[in-house]
């Protein structure tokens, strides 16, 4: 961060983009974990 005080538009967009990417990755990881658990339960039920 610069000592100029006011954050520029580009920096604020960059922060928003990083936050969006972070939450998107988090959602994908949670979704994969849920799918994995469901598939394991499905296999155990059918075995």
Alpha-carbon torsion (34, 38, 43, 44), positive or negative: positive
Residue 5: what pLDDT? 65
Dmax (CA) of the chain: 65
**How much is the pLDDT for 39?**
97
What are the pLDDT digits (tens) for 7-37? 788 888 999 999 999 999 999 999 999 999 9
Supply the pTM of this predicted model: 0.60
pLDDT at residue 14, as a whole number: 93
Domain ranges of the chain: 1-46
| pLDDT at residue 4, rounded to an integer | 61
Q: What is the pLDDT of residues 36-47, one digit of tens each?
A: 999 999 999 998
């Amino acid at each position: 961060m610069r000592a100029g005080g006011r954050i520029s538009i580009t920096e604020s967009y960059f922060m928003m983009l990083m936050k969006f990417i972070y939450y998107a990755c988090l959602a994908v990881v949670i979704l994969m974990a849920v799918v994995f658990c469901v598939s394991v339960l499905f296999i155990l039920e059918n075995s």
